[in-house]
Structure 1
């Protein structure tokens, strides 16, 4: 589920760079997705 959301956000980010769709909102969402990904990876590696 998380990977799907991240993939969609990356695609929207690329479209935003090409066609200026949604402006800075896509960049903010992408940063949030990367932060969530890092937190998930850190908490997963901590449990191992």
Structure 2
């Protein structure tokens, strides 16, 4: 991944993945609190 724009797009996709129907259902079925969860994205450099 190169450039700030690519990093922003990747973080947006990562964050959006939390709100898919499958992710919401998984959290609900496993008693995971959606509201209080912190989500992290890690960017590395080669």
Normalising by the residue count of structure 2, what TM-score does the alignment of the two structures yield?
0.43
Which structure has more helix as a fraction of its residues?
1
Higher relative contact order (CA 8 A, sep 6+): 1
Larger radius of gyration: 2
